[in-house]
Structure 1
Amino acid sequence: MLALGIAFADPVYAGEQPSNTEGANTEQTGGGDETGIYAAAQIQYSGSVADDGGTGNVTSADVNWDPPPCWYAPYLGAKDFKRKMSADLEEAASGPGMTGHAGSAIGQTKAHYEDEFSWEDNPGYKDYNVAKDGEGMFWAGVENPNEPDALKRNSCTELPFWVDNGEPPPPRYEQAITPEILAALAYQHMQLPDTKVTLAPAEATKVNLPTWAWLDKADFHEVQATAVVDVPGFAIQATTTAKPVSLKLEPGTPDAETYPASSECAINADGSIGEPYAKGKADQTPPCGIKYLRSSGDGTFDLQATITWEIAWTGTGGAGGDLPDGTFENAQTVTVQEIQAINR
């Protein structure tokens, strides 16, 4: 592999993605002439996604799973790539200290794109493949701007390579963008509803009195996030779907009991969780709830309600599969009063 001693003057990024319902219109436009770029693949997000391209609020239940830190995607057509790359190489070659290994790397890179210099399974190009302009694109590494680890973010270091329209990238580029990668990115940007668990009693509960907890189907529903890449000669998409499956209650104190004892409230057949309290149920055990065994005094207990979401994806060409379950934690305060006997 060549060791390229320069960086692009304008790094390739995934682009910022504003608005959680409109999606992100980040496609660069322009035309293959002297005034614009032929195409540059950026990702458009739509559906239930975070504002401004930020990371969503889903936490993967699999601590070993991470969204892709970078990937390879269509970058520029041949003429525009020649204009940019030749200018970058010329600027790098004129910089101070460009001798020895660094100067040799620049020379080899120039020969790779101009004079068909090849190595291993990396074919060279004649005049930046200008003769095939419009028939394909050069692909380049794209950084995930939401990846905090700079080393991982900068790990797609292969030189830009050519892919004909309608053809897949060479197998050696395992990080080339696919519907599965788009699905993982949609997962990373997904914004789950900020659902607050309904409690009864609502204002303040009592020591040794069962507190009922539930989520209505209307507030607790399936959500989707879609990621799309669409440039001339290359278009793929993936939709990631999160389906709520359970609610875990953590009372905020060890002096409490949960219903059920596992603290995991399963989803009902109608999509709700738990059961709303109604008159006449004061002596019943709630299917989902908490019983506090001591008062919160002058303060409150922090009830943590963690919803687990089953996540799967579908994409271009009938692709699809499962992604790690996601969790989203809501915190709410609970006041517990010391009253031994009450009438309801």
Structure 2
Amino acid sequence: MEWKPPACWYEPYWKAKDFKTYVEAQWSIYQSVGGAPAGIADSKARYTGGHPYKDFNADKNDDGMWWVATENPEMKDDPASRACTLPPFWVNNGENPGVPQAIDTKTLAGLAYQRTTVPGTKISTAPAGKSTVNLPTWIWLDKATFKTVSVTASLPGTGLWATTTAKPVSLHIDPGTGDAQTSPASGECTINADGSIGEPYTKGKANETPPCGVTYLRSSNGGSYALKATLTWQITWKGSGGTGGDLPNGTFATTTDVPVQEIQSVNR
């Protein structure tokens, strides 16, 4: 997919009392091994001394959450994954975190988009072996070959979620040579009402024009033409709170080698 996900973000992670338990345990470990690292005094002042928090906001345990910086696990080698450097901060329920890169449904949609995998583009053609000059090659995709794909990303305990949906919408045909005519002329085969693309070839249709196909006008001279079929997937998303929108389309191509022969006729 042609989209770059966020390398890091801030997300709600700790209830107040859980955060207090975790951090105080870390401080105890430091003391047991011979002293606290530099900066721990500032940390204690920040979370317990009123600069700006007192006792980890434990008295507000059900009124909000501590937000933390999170690296995108699939982008840990990207230096940008370390750009979220704010220490844990408190956000009351229903309040906007007020910081760039705070996670929201659109970010979750992007993460779901990043994990969306669609089936490979595998076309059917007839004739399946050699094609013949001036006779159409039929191309189709059966509806059972590719289906709508959905992926959901959510943040447990927050009510935040987003689902991306990838839907196949068209197949573009590139014959691999200028000596050919596509059907339709644009080379863009749209999806049928039943979810298929094109129409399977059946006996007796050799001279008919297929709804999706190509007619080669010149022999490949013992070689073959690289028939490229590119399937476009339309990507949309919806999320909690009535959010939603569009994401960049995905395009996936496959190439099929098509030998084209020329049948010689003899006039008597």
Report the Cα distance in structure 2 between the residues aligned to 1:301 and 1:258, rounded to whole angstroms. Answer: 14
1:89-238 pair list within 5 angstroms: 91=30, 94-95=36-37, 98=38, 103=39, 107-117=41-51, 124-147=52-75, 150-164=78-92, 166-170=93-97, 172-231=98-157, 234-238=158-162
Does the CA-based 8 Å contact 1:255-1:294 persist in structure 2? no
Q: Which has the larger radius of gyration?
A: 2
Answer yes or no: is the 8 Å Cα contact 2:130–2:261 preserved in 1.
no
Partners in 1 of 2:53 and 2:28 — Cα distance?
Answer: 15
Q: Could you say if the C-alpha distance between residues 203 and 338 of structure 1 is closer, same or farther in structure 2, counting changes exceeding 3 Å?
A: closer
Equivalent residue number for residue 284 of structure 1: 208
CA contact (8 A) 1:248 1:265 kept: yes
Identity within the alignment, %: 50
Counterpart amino acid of residue 125 in structure 2: L
Tell me if the contact between 1:257 and 1:290 (Cα under 8 Å) persists in the aligned partners: yes
Contact 1:210 1:290 in 2 (8 A): yes
Please tell me the residue identity of whatever aligns with 1:180. Answer: K
2:230 match: 306
What is the rounded CA distance, in whole Å, between the counterparts of 1:317 and 1:169 in structure 2? 14
> What's 1:294 paired with?
219
Deviations along 1:102-133, whole A, 9 cap, x unmatched?
x5xx543432112122xxxxxx1112223333
Q: What amino acid maps onto 1:110 in structure 2? A: K
Q: What is the Cα deviation at residue 302 of structure 1?
A: 3.9
| Maintained 8 Å contact 1:309/1:326 | yes
- Counterpart of 1:68 in structure 2 is 6
Counterpart selection for 2:196 from 249, 267, 272: 272
Contact 1:207 1:295 (8 Å CA) reproduced: no
Moved more, 256-265 or 234-243: 256-265
- More strand as a share of residues: 2
CA–CA distance in structure 1, aligned partners of residues 187 and 246 of structure 2: 26
Contact 2:121–2:230 at 8 Å: present in 1 too? no
- Rounded to whole Å, the distance in 2 between the matches of 1:316 and 1:272 is 32
- Deviation string 1:55-104 (CA, Å, 9 cap, x unpaired) is xxxx23xxxx4222222112222233234445269859845xx5xxxx5x
**Structure 1: distance between partners of 2:198 and 2:235:** 22
SS in 1 for 2:94: coil
Aligned Cα root-mean-square deviation (Å): 2.8
- 2:227–2:258: 8 Å Cα contact kept in structure 1? no
Whether contact under 8 Å (1:204, 1:334) holds in the other structure is: no
CA contact (8 A) 2:112 2:152 kept: yes
| TM-aligned CA deviation for residue 139 of structure 1 | 1.0
AA at the equivalent of 2:95: P
Q: Give the counterpart of 1:249 among 164, 168, 173.
A: 173
> Are 2:192 and 1:262 equivalent residues in the alignment?
no
The residue aligned with 1:338 is: 261
Kindly indicate whether the alpha-carbon contact (under 8 Å) linking 1:207 and 1:291 is maintained by their aligned counterparts in 2.
yes
1:41-56 alignment, distance < 5 Å: none
TM-score by length of 1: 0.66
Looking at structure 2, the residues matched to 66 and 268 of structure 1 have their Cα atoms a distance apart, in angstroms, of 32
Tell me the TM-score normalized by structure 2: 0.83
Secondary structure class of the residue paired with 1:221: coil
Q: Deviations over 1:270-324 (max 9, x none)?
A: 33222222233222222221234332735x5443321111111111122211122
Aligned residue pairs: how many? 260
3-state SS of the aligned residue for 2:46? helix
The alpha-carbon distance between structure 1 residues 91 and 261, as it changes in their structure 2 partners (threshold 3 A), is: farther
Letter of the 1:71 partner, please give it.
W
Amino acid at match of 2:222: G
| Cα pair distance change 1:265/1:255, threshold 3 Å | same
